[in-house]
Amino acid sequence: MIRIGIDTGGTFTDFVVAHPSGVQIFKIPSTPNNPAESMRKGLLDIPGPKNIIHGTTVATNAILERRGAKTAFIVNEGFKDLLFIGRQTRPDIYALEPVLPPVPISREDCFVVTGRIGPSGIELQPCGAHALSEIKLRYQSAAVCLLFSYANPMHESQVKDVLQMKHVSLSHQVSPEFREYERGCVTLLNAYIAPVIEAYFSEIERAFPADQISIMTSGGGIMPIRSAIEKPILSVTSGPAAGAAAAAHLAKTHNKTKAIAFDVGGTSTDVTLIEGDPLYTNLSDIGGLPCRLRRVDVHTIGCGGGSIAELDEAGALKVGPKSVGADPGPAFYGVGSTPCIADAHVVLGRLALDLYSGGLAGRLIPERSFHAIGGLASRLGASAEQTANAIIELAVAQMARAIRKISSERGRDPEEYCLVAYGGGGGLHACEVADELRIREILIPQFPGVFSAYGLLLAPIVQEASATVIETHTPESWHQVYEGLIQKVKAEMACPPDRIVTFADMRYKGQGYELTVCADDGFERTCEGFEREHQAVYGARHARADIQWVAARVRAERDPEPLPPAQQPSFSEPSGSAIIQRHAIPQGGIVQGPLLIVQSDSTTYLPKHWESERLSDGTLVLRKVL
């Protein structure tokens, strides 16, 4: 069976096909109005049974663009305004009129039920859900978040029985953890996108009835497509998670314990900190709402190859977050005339358009980029080249700022890390971003333009479970909780796991938020690990303070089949004095900048004072030359 990784992005859909004879790559333009259509087009010429592993941004886009279903939100009596009150934290502490996080439903969509479960799971008052039976006539989906449902889900189950709806999300199933506001938000988002994701994945199932289809999770593993339909929130940021997993694999291969995944696509840039494995987060922001979901900690900014360059209200140049996308695309596509980052690279001679991938080679018009950038330049009173340089400088500054957010702001020095650059534009910006952060070494994978799709084929089968344990603090109860969770994930996996890893959310007693640390070495060692992490993140540890264990987490993994070797093209002569084809660099060969290293799926820009060596596995290692 042929294994195929398919990553659907905002601009391109990337394919990595693992034949028995080797790995084949290609990419085609995405079809934003119907993402499954680009999948069908790409698979037309691949005969035989297929094992498809899919990463997608459909769930994320549905939330960001507010294209979800009409959803009812059901809470305990007295908590109708839960989503709208939220926390007392202010997104902008200096704003005189703070803007609260946008909620995709109105207050009229919120309903209450009588009854109450106590914090220990004891029923204090019976549930009165009979008045909810009419909701199904007005809503496509419903989210239920009742107090302490993680301790006793009885009332939520009773509400579901009354609703009799196809799409009902229960908080004890979506996020069985404390903090009702965050649990309510993620349950709402799960219900909000459920009909959209079911329609999308069901279309994929109809298109490939004989194929085995798996979906990448935001936690860096794969799950059956039916599981993704049942719990769609797990597919949020699945594409970037695959890239981070691939970056971690590449870093391990080259003995780099500290790395930063740097993925520059057509619409956005995704960055992830890697310390052996990608770092995870249990609470992140999606579309302005907190999402209590364990996932690869990917930080995304709206700055990619298609990000629009324009003047703001004050007449200053800005780049992004708006993008030209796949349609109309950069100006050199010959359809639109809006300047973007990719057009700036054309003006500066950093893109060899005759090798451009995505089924567009030979149909591109570089003159259109000069015209688009020139129009912006005339408004700035500068030359086209000066404007193009300014666009790239702005983009690099934003990318470097994104990396500082996941490194410097968490007590990590980016100088100590290696940059793993991929995506269609990763190699174009890597050296300049590294210069900004004083990073001295960069890894460019063999297929950077489709690296996230490649990561889909490296992802393990994953099953996770968690439990809130705020009142549990002894080594004996520690073992009991984890043993129960381990048995649960083993029972839910279709095959025996290759490994099981455990984590603990911990904090000093009295703190409001936690840090997640590895819990594989027992209670005492985990407490020591928490204090080290607290020192690294906050610059302090409190030796006399009590450590509170808040939540237990277990992750079971089953490794995929190893990939066959990549198909290696034959060497060819460099196509110009400042341009060399990547496969023309021999193993162990070193080239000096300034130089463009080109290939079908991306371009690597090697400035002055940088050199590149081609390693035995085809990886390029870029080093700063003193």
Confidence category of residue 268, pLDDT binned at 50, 70, 90: confident
**514 or 383, greater pLDDT:** 383
Say if residue 44 is exposed, middle or buried (CB neighbours under 10 Å; 0-12, 13-18, 19+): exposed
Tokens found for residue 508? 């000093």
Q: Are residues 324 and 253 in the same domain?
A: yes
Residue 17 has pLDDT above 50, yes or no: yes
Q: Are residues 128 and 2 in the same domain?
A: no
Domain count, the chain: 3
Residue-level pLDDT at 209: 60
Q: Are residues 539 and 569 in the same domain?
A: no
Last residue of a domain, one of 558, 589, 608: 558
Q: Which of 415, 389, 9 is nearest to 237 (CA)?
A: 9
Q: Is residue 211 part of a domain?
A: no
- Label each residue of 487-506 as H, E or C: HHHHHHCCCCCCEEEEEEEE
| Spatial separation of the C-alpha atoms in residues 262 and 432, rounded to whole Å | 13
Note the pLDDT tens digit of each residue in 37-89: 888 888 888 887 888 999 987 888 788 778 899 999 999 999 999 999 888 77
Apex CA 220: angle with CA 512 and CA 342, to 5°? 100
**380 or 211, greater pLDDT:** 380
Residue-level pLDDT at 500: 94
Question: How far is CA 442 from its chain centroid?
Answer: 21
- Residues whose CB is less than 8 angstroms from the CB of residue 435 and which lie 6 or more positions away in sequence, other chains included: 607, 624
Residue-level pLDDT at 169: 97
Residue-level pLDDT at 142: 97
Q: Which of 572, 595, 261, 558 is nearest to 402 (CA)?
A: 261
- Where is average pLDDT lowest: 94-98, 358-362, 452-456? 358-362
Q: Is residue 38 part of a domain?
A: yes
Give DSSP secondary structure letters for 430-461.
HHHHHHHHT--EEEE-SSGGGHHHHHHTTPPE
Q: Are residues 333 and 449 in the same domain?
A: yes
- Where is average pLDDT lowest: 2-16, 161-175, 356-370, 581-595? 356-370
Tokens found for residue 135? 């909701």
Whether omega before 20 lies within 30 degrees of 0, making that bond cis, reads: no
Q: Is residue 57 part of a domain?
A: no
Question: How far is CA 433 from its chain centroid?
Answer: 20
Mean pLDDT of 612-623: 95
Mean pLDDT of 570-576: 45
Last residue of a domain, one of 140, 175, 196: 196
Q: Is residue 62 part of a domain?
A: no
Q: Are residues 318 and 451 in the same domain?
A: yes
Q: Is residue 341 part of a domain?
A: yes
Q: What is the mean pLDDT of the chain?
A: 89
Note the pLDDT tens digit of each residue in 167-224: 999 999 999 888 899 999 999 999 999 999 999 888 888 877 646 888 999 888 888 8
Tokens found for residue 90? 């202010």
Q: Are residues 256 and 345 in the same domain?
A: yes
Q: Which of 548, 605, 565 is nearest to 421 (CA)?
A: 605
Note the pLDDT tens digit of each residue in 460-511: 888 888 888 886 667 778 888 999 999 999 998 878 899 999 999 999 988 8
Residue-level pLDDT at 219: 86
CATH number at residue 530: 3.30.1490
Residue-level pLDDT at 575: 47
Look at residue 465 and give its three-state secondary structure: strand
Give DSSP secondary structure letters for 229-257.
HHSGGGGTTHHHHHHHHHHHHHHHHTT-S
| Spatial separation of the C-alpha atoms in residues 83 and 185, rounded to whole Å | 7
Q: Are residues 142 and 18 in the same domain?
A: no
Mean pLDDT of 293-317: 90
* 290, containing H or E segment: strand 289-296
Q: Is residue 393 part of a domain?
A: no
Bridge partners, 143 (sequence order): 73, 169
Q: Are residues 312 and 436 in the same domain?
A: yes
Q: Are residues 247 and 370 in the same domain?
A: yes
Residue 161 near residue 74 (C-beta atoms within 8 A): no
Residue-level pLDDT at 114: 94
Q: φ and ψ at 410, to 5 degrees?
A: -115, 20
Residue-level pLDDT at 427: 96
Task: Write out the residue range of the structural domain in which residue 492 sits.
Answer: 461-558
Q: Is residue 216 part of a domain?
A: no
Helices (H) then strands (E): counts for the chain: 15, 31
Residue-level pLDDT at 27: 84
CA torsion 468-470-475-476 (nearest 10°) is: -70
Q: Are residues 540 and 583 in the same domain?
A: no
Last residue of a domain, one of 508, 535, 558: 558
Q: Are residues 100 and 151 in the same domain?
A: yes
Q: Are residues 42 and 103 in the same domain?
A: no
Q: Is residue 390 part of a domain?
A: no
Q: How many residues does the chain have?
A: 626
| Spatial separation of the C-alpha atoms in residues 496 and 499, rounded to whole Å | 9
Note the pLDDT tens digit of each residue in 382-429: 999 999 999 999 999 999 999 999 999 888 999 999 999 999 899 999
Residue-level pLDDT at 568: 52
pTM of the model: 0.84
Residue 360 has pLDDT above 80, yes or no: no
Share of the chain above pLDDT 70, in %: 96
